[in-house]
Amino acid sequence: MKATMLARARAYLDRRRALGYALRVEGELLLDFARFADRSGHRGPPTKRLALKWATLPSSASRLYKARRLEILRTFAKHLAAIEPSTEVPPRHVLGPAHRRNPPHIYTAQQIETLMGRASRLSGVLRPHTFATLVGLIASTGLRISEALKLRAADVDFLHRVLTIRESKFRITRLVPLHRSTAMALKRYHARRLRLWPHSPFFLVSERGMPLSGSTVHHTFRQLAGSITPTSNRATVRIHDLRHTFACRVIEKWERTHRRAAGRIAVLSRYLGHARVTDTYWYLSATPELLAAAARDFKTPRHEDS
């Protein structure tokens, strides 16, 4: 019996995930394509026509989203082509580029203080302390929101002031050193949490001692950030923008030192848990401070009059 498209897609996802790729969104979309192909009566490996038909199905979606759908199928098709030579790989960029950097909001120090202040006034016994700690933790370490929510109490070393981030993106485990003030704030929260939920293995917990859900965090953050005007073209600021802000502020700080930032991007890349240094450049925005630093490098040298 010939393999269905769904069976092909599941086998492909199993192989990629075994290599460390999470493929959460991409996996859901690929399985949706596979079901679409099987329902339509298609037999055999994917074709260009079938891929384009599925990629452009959401007529009201943006061109960028359709291009991203097609890109996912291109990767899948290239993999299948090595096994089933009759597979047709969709042409690249036939729907335009699949990625476009939407500039993030770069928070000021005052805005971060405002967020933490509003969080501390939330209702509940532990909730205000949990959300104030969450905002402060991401702002001071640049953690991904998923990493902060999965953090376990056993992974916070107060003595050596270091976090162990276990098997995050691409299943990378890394150590994240903490500033003394961050470690002290986390220790205060930990003591408060222990009094209420001593047996919960998670570090940041809800009023019921359960780990925080991503949807709850994003909903609450929108309430906290309601009056902050984005500096980007997005409708609202995001909690993920704190990670972008951290990356930019680190570079700005390095640029104020004698050594400056040259040759140190790899350090920041490892700290942020990136698999490639190029991923770190995606996080850097042209803040006034960084533009001023760049301008210093491009000043025309003065020549003595002859």
Q: Cite the active site residues.
A: 144, 169, 240, 243, 274, 283
Nearest CA-CA partner of 10 in 90, 68, 80:
80
147: Cβ contacts below 8 Å, ≥ 6 apart:
165, 168, 273
CA distance 43 to 302: 71
Phi, psi of 89 (to 5 degrees): -90, 125
Query: Which string of b and e fits 157-168 if b means at least 16 CB within 10 Å?
Result: eeeebebebeeb
The dihedral built from the CA positions of residue 23, 92, 233 and 286, taken in this order, carries a sign that is positive
CA distance 128 to 133: 8
How many Å separate Cα 238 from the centre of its chain?
11
